[in-house]
Structure 1
Amino acid sequence: MDTHTGNATTPDGTRLTYRDHHAPDSQHPPLLLLHGLAGHMGEWDDLLPLLLADGHRVITYDARGHGASTRRPPDMTRASAVRDVTTLIEELSLPTPVTLLGQSLGGHTAFLTAAAHPHLVDSLILVEAGPAGPSPDLPTEIATWLDSWPTPFTSLSSAAAFLGHEAWARGLEEREDGHHPRWDRDTMLAAVAELSTRAYWPQWARVACPTLVVRGAKGTMRKAEMTRMARTTRGGTDTDRPPTSAPAPDPHRGHRGRGPRRTPGPAAPLARGGTDVPRGEERHMTGPRSPVPVPASRAYCRASASQFRQT
């Protein structure tokens, strides 16, 4: 694996720190991975070996206001997040169209990008992300959640215990007095401000590419939202449920018990070591055509290859 770390500069001067991971023999569209609110690109690290082994070029990045990217950017609107995606595609000269995989707020950015720039997006994987709204209580809920973090954390292990997974703790900044988040509270609230006042169903209706929507059994996305998404896509719809088996450990549970119901929070890895899909997890596939499957986990790849291949 060849990995390059660099920075891209957006039109408003925001620095985006990224990692570009090259598989030896890339056979699929590039994958651009988008983390959730208060997260960081390292949350995808456990998933990378699986995607690279399947022949993907994978790009991860810290969203504006997060991690190693500009901490206090001049703009935190949804439109600015979409421009960040197009900036990375252009500056890295990625062969288009690409596949976007986003969790929560990152998934929201992903489908807005597909709606605004359909020629750039081959397919979408949305994990706990959709167009529902408005959510007027969301800023207050997010503020309460952020304020509940006992920062600074005395150790990475205490951070992992509170946040629910070591991947979240890896994104903290170590200082003399402990481990701190690499984001500012007001910037996080600015990132979700628009979600409190509007829904994004018109944008979702413009998404024409194949889309896999993943709703966790212990997640926050409502089933009614997923069902409506399947009914309002421009293309045909394929609805399916993965095979049930012994449930894998759910790294989201620690956070979900503390955060608000609609928190677009950090993403834990989607799968570890080829474990199966947690029992009761649902997925919806929408779109007028089906690409070669993008394995959000080995379980999805093995269980869904026949449904998601071009026919």
Structure 2
Amino acid sequence: MIATGDFPGRFGVDVGSGVRINCFDSGGNGLPVVILHGLAGSSREFAATAEALPEFRTILIDQRGHGQSTTIPDDLSREAFVSDVVQVIEATADTPVTVIGQSMGGHTAMLLAAARPDLVAKLVLLEGGAGGGSSAENERIGDFFRSWPVPFANTSAARDFLGDGPLARAWAADLKDEADGLWPRFNAEVMVATLNGLLRPRWDEWEIVTAPTLVVYAEAGMFTAQEEAEFIDRGRDVKRVDLAGASHDGHLDSFDSWIIALRSFLLS
């Protein structure tokens, strides 16, 4: 598996208002693919996905408030997230790109495809939807992040607290090493504010997306069967794949099935 630090091209894009977006570029002459992680994640989670796409030039983006991008940006609107990706694409690619997004990153990708169809050749949404939820649930998620006993003394301490699931392992592997210990690469209050930006369902945007789209759902994901069916029905050019046995983080715990579905779509 590629560690993001091993990518031949790490770069940053200054997108205004003091925000810098960190990216990793696999290099090569293949068609460009841009990957957007989910909430409280980072580009590191998709390094293995990039490695499994050797025919493509893959650009991994740490979205604002995440990874090695600016941790506490002033603007956490959905439009700011989309603008960041637009600026990265315009700075790095001279042809339309395939955009892959998971969860919150899928929401960003969907809004990008609606706002800038000229930039998006294909769209892949892993456990993505139109948005929704409740502020109370978002606060509960924030309380979980606030409960982390940081700084962790070491990776073992982090694993002891976070557990041994695929997402927990990804979090532990991506902690930032500071003088006093290991810290997450995100701020709990920023995560809550980011989630609150997704409260309004964006059906109008989803219904105008014209790019061929692969929607991937996990058997044990976050959406009900009714929610999944409605999202598929209201899309234009949509193919659906379901990952048996996968969780919301199917790119981590159902990797082989995820790559099979992804490559089949990208190479079609």
Fold similarity call, TM over 0.5 = yes
Alpha-carbon spacing, 1:241–1:40, altered in 2? closer, same or farther (3 Å): closer
1:4 match: 9
Would you say the 8 A contact 2:216–2:240 is kept in 1? no
The 5 A counterparts of 1:196-275 are 196=199, 198-235=200-237, 237-239=238-240, 241=242, 269=252, 272=255, 275=256
1:70–1:241 distance in 2 versus 1, CA, 3 Å: closer
Match for residue 293 of structure 1? none
Per-residue deviation, 1:270: 6.4
Structure with greater helix percent: 2
Task: Quote the Cα distance in structure 2 between the aligned partners of 1:224 and 1:123.
Answer: 25
SS in 1 for 2:112: helix
Q: Quick check: 1:187 aligned with 2:151?
A: no
Give the deviation of 1:301 after TM superposition: 5.4
State the partner residue of 2:56: 56
Structure with a larger share of its residues in strand? 2
CA shift at 1:153, angstroms? 2.6
**TM-fit CA distance, 1:160:** 4.1
Structure 1 gap ranges (5+): 257-265, 278-295
Partner of 1:106: 105
The C-alpha deviation readout for 1:236-279, integer Å capped at 9, x for no partner, is x544557x7xx6xx5x5xxx7xxxxxxxxx7853655xx3x3xx
Deviations 1:38-89 (A, max 9, x none): 111111122221112xx00000121111121111212111000000110001
Change (3 A) 1:203 1:184: same
* Counterpart position of 1:287: none
Distance between the aligned counterparts of 2:102 and 2:108, measured in 1?
9
Query: What is the 5 A alignment of 1:34-113?
Result: 34-52=36-54, 55-92=55-92, 94-113=93-112
CA contact (8 A) 1:103 1:267 kept: no
Report the count of equivalent residues: 259
**Corresponding position: 1:118 with 2:120:** no
More contact order relative to length (CA 8 Å, sep ≥ 6): 1
2:34 maps to: 32
Equivalence for 1:262: none
Aligned to 1:128: 127
Task: Tell me which amino acid in the other structure corresponds to 1:300.
Answer: A
Rounded Cα–Cα distance in structure 1 between residues aligned with 2:102 and 2:239: 21
Please, which runs of 5 or more residues in structure 2 have no aligned partner?
1-5
Distance of aligned partners of 1:61 and 1:308 in 2 relative to their CA distance in 1, 3 Å threshold? closer
Say whether the 8 Å CA contact 1:131–1:201 is kept in structure 2. Answer: yes
Query: Counterparts of 1:123 and 1:85 in 2: how far apart (Å)?
Result: 15
1:11 CA displacement: 3.3
Assess, with a 3 A threshold, how the Cα gap between structure 1 residues 308 and 230 changes in structure 2: closer, same or farther: farther
d(CA) in 2 for partners of 1:87 and 1:69?
A: 14
Separation in 2, partners of 1:132, 1:15 = 26
Letter of the 2:19 partner, please give it: T
Mapped contact 2:101–2:124 kept (Cα < 8 A): yes
Equivalent AA in structure 2 for residue 45 of structure 1: A
Q: Report if the CA contact (8 A) 1:138-1:195 is conserved.
A: no
Measured after TM superposition, the shift of residue 10 of structure 1 is 0.7
Q: Identity of aligned pairs, percent?
A: 34
Give the TM-score normalised by structure 1: 0.75
Partner Cα distance (1:239, 1:43) in 2: 23
1:119 aligned partner, one-letter code? D
Task: Answer whether contact 2:213 2:239 (CA < 8 A) is retained.
Answer: no
1:22 and 2:5 aligned:
no
Counterpart amino acid of residue 90 in structure 1: E
Aligned to 1:259: none
Which range is displaced more, 152-161 or 43-52?
Answer: 152-161
Instruction: Please give the alpha-carbon distance, in whole angstroms, between the structure 2 residues aligned to 1:241 and 1:185.
Output: 31
Deviation of 1:145 after TM superposition, in Å, equals: 2.4
Quote the offset at 1:2 in angstroms. 6.5
